[in-house]
Every structure is written in structure tokens, then in C-alpha cells.
């Protein structure tokens, strides 16, 4: 088998695996939400605004009187046509709600990613360039931070300290503090492994050759060591991206940002099945595609992975 055919076969297997995971997400998102007791009609009934007859009629109109299998068949047929249904809570198309909620989520995720990548890649580079400085200790600090400090808990603490006690930020609507919290988590995921990879390259043959040519430490690290160590960062990008999504959603709720996280929380509280399903499916598919692209780029960058296939 030629190298090109082996690469094509490997990519096809990755796509098949991604499609299987995506199908699992679709099925799980539909049935797991229905395991939670009650539906949107029960929620409205508890508010005292509907009679029993009105509840029964609304449940029939929403299709909730059908069995789960029948509901899944109806919903699957709609979804295959690109129709994710109408929000049972807001009575508007679900995709309209998602499109409206996306900008704050994208803004927070992008800011957090920019801060996290700058810190997670910049600190290890500085630590290798200046090994007797505080930078190696800072690499260890951000790593321990990301392992031991949940973003949700840090977000609540930040609101209490900076908004309630000190009054430095508004309690609702601030985007910079959650972006920095999210960035610290991203940096901790990348920094340690990237740093260790850079340190290994210091004793490699190509670095010794570059030193023998009289190249400066800065040039050796940035031009020769960093490009070779980026394969490690690429390998972690799928995990990083999943962390960005989960961290963004939870921090939106803590800081009152009107994004996907707040939309999902409200939909779950109101048992808005179509909205929760659509959000879970879209987020799951984004993570699956991101992991597929990450694996593909990693094999393109690192020839050793291509040979293993």
C-alpha cells in the first residue's frame, strides 16, 4: 500500500469514527434529557396558569403525548431537513435563539483562547530562554492552577471578590475577567507539556548543530525548537477546544453573559427539549470536527504519525 493510499485510508477511518461519535451524541442528547422528570407542560402547570385540560391539549400539540421512540422518529426526520424545531418555551425557531446567543459565546471563547495560547506557549518559551528566571516556576504554577482550580468555582470567587467586595467590575456582563479565568485554564493545559518538549530539544543534534554555527539562543529556540515542539500543542488542541466550550458555557452563567450557556441553562430549567437538544448537538459536533481537524493537522506536521498509520 502506497503512502498516499494509507493516508487516505487513515483519514477515511477518522471520518467514520467521527460520524459514529456524532450519531451517538444525537441519540444520547435526545433520550438523556427525557430521563429528567417533567417536561415543559409540567413546568407551566406548576406555575398555576393552565388547567389539566389545557395541559393535555398542549402536550398533544407539542408531540409530548407520543412515545419516546415516536418522538425520536419525528424529530430525526425534521433534523435531517435542517429543522431543529420550535422552542417550546419561547415559541420561536430554535436556530434563531442559537444565532442570537452565539456572538457573546464566540467573543468570550476567542478572548480566552487568545489569552490562554499567549500564556501557554509564551511562558515555556521564556522559561527555556531564561532557565534561571521565575518563568519555569510560572509554568508549574499555571499547570497546577488548571488542575486544581475549577473555572466555575474561580468565577464565583471572582464575582464575590472583585464585584461585591471591591466593586472593581460589574457583577453581571463583564467579559474580561471570565476570559482571563478561561485563559488560565487553557494555558495550564498546554504549558507543561510544551515546556518539557522544548527542554528535550535542547540536547538534540540539530540544536547542537545550530549552536556550532554560532546562532543565538533566541534564534535557536524560536526558529528551530518551537516549530518542532508545536506538534505537542496540536495534539492537545482537541482537549483545549473542548475545555474552551465547557468553560465558556459555565462562566457565561456565573457572569450573566447572554450566550449559549445562559440559553442552555434557561432551556434546561424550563424543560425546553428542542433548544437543549439543538445546543448539545451543535456543541458536540463542533468538538468532533475540531478533533478530526486536529488529528489531520498533527499528522501533516509530524511525519512520524503518518508512518505509524
pLDDT less than 50: residues of the chain = 307-309
Record the cell numbers describing residue 287, joined without a space.
Answer: 468538538
Query: Residue 270 carries which DSSP code?
Result: T
* pLDDT tens figures, 129-148: 898 899 999 999 999 988 88
Residue 178 near residue 155 (C-beta atoms within 8 A): yes
Q: Kindly give, in sequence order, each residue whose CB lies less than 8 Å from that of residue 301, ignoring residues fewer than 6 positions away.
A: 230, 231, 234
pLDDT at 301: 63
pLDDT at 49: 66
Q: Is the entire prediction scored with pTM above 0.85?
A: no
Between the alpha carbon of residue 303 and those of residues 4, 160, 308, the distances in Å are 13, 49, 9
pLDDT at 6: 63
Between the alpha carbon of residue 37 and those of residues 40, 268, 269, the distances in Å are 10, 12, 11
Residue 98 near residue 252 (C-beta atoms within 8 A): no
Distance CA 97, CA 138 (A): 41
Query: Residue 93 carries which DSSP code?
Result: B
pLDDT at 25: 82
pLDDT at 213: 81
pLDDT at 305: 52
Domains by residue range for the chain, with CATH: 3-35+95-308 (1.10.3720.10)
- Total Cβ atoms within 10 A of residue 286: 13
pLDDT at 10: 67
pLDDT at 184: 92
pLDDT at 284: 82
Amino acid at each position: 500500500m502506497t503512502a498516499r493510499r494509507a493516508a487516505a485510508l487513515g483519514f477515511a477511518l477518522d471520518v467514520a469514527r467521527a460520524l459514529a461519535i456524532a450519531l451517538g451524541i444525537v441519540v444520547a442528547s435526545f433520550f438523556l434529557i427525557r430521563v429528567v422528570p417533567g417536561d415543559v407542560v409540567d413546568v407551566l402547570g406548576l406555575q398555576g396558569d393552565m388547567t389539566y385540560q389545557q395541559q393535555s391539549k398542549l402536550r398533544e400539540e407539542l408531540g409530548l403525548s407520543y412515545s419516546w421512540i415516536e418522538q425520536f422518529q419525528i424529530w430525526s426526520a425534521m433534523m435531517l431537513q435542517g429543522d431543529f424545531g420550535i422552542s417550546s418555551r419561547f415559541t420561536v425557531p430554535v436556530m434563531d435563539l442559537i444565532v442570537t446567543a452565539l456572538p457573546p459565546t464566540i467573543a468570550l471563547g476567542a478572548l480566552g483562547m487568545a489569552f490562554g495560547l499567549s500564556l501557554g506557549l509564551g511562558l515555556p518559551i521564556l522559561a527555556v530562554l531564561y532557565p534561571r528566571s521565575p518563568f519555569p516556576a510560572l509554568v508549574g504554577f499555571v499547570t497546577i492552577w488548571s488542575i486544581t482550580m475549577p473555572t466555575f468555582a474561580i468565577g464565583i470567587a471572582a464575582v464575590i471578590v472583585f464585584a461585591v467586595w471591591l466593586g472593581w467590575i460589574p457583577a453581571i456582563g463583564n467579559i474580561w475577567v471570565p476570559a482571563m479565568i478561561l485563559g488560565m485554564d487553557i494555558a495550564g493545559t498546554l504549558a507543561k507539556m510544551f515546556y518539557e518538549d522544548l527542554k528535550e530539544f535542547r540536547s538534540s543534534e540539530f540544536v547542537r548543530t545550530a549552536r556550532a554555527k554560532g546562532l543565538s539562543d533566541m534564534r535557536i529556540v524560536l526558529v528551530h525548537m518551537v516549530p518542532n515542539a508545536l506538534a505537542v500543542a496540536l495534539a492537545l488542541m482537541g482537549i483545549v477546544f473542548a475545555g474552551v466550550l465547557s468553560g465558556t458555557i459555565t462562566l457565561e452563567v456565573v457572569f450573566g453573559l447572554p450566550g449559549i450557556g445562559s440559553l442552555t441553562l434557561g432551556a434546561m430549567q424550563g424543560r425546553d427539549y428542542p433548544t437543549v437538544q439543538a445546543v448539545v448537538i451543535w456543541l458536540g459536533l463542533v468538538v468532533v470536527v475540531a478533533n478530526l481537524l486536529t488529528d489531520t493537522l498533527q499528522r501533516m506536521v509530524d511525519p512520524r504519525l503518518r508512518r505509524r498509520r
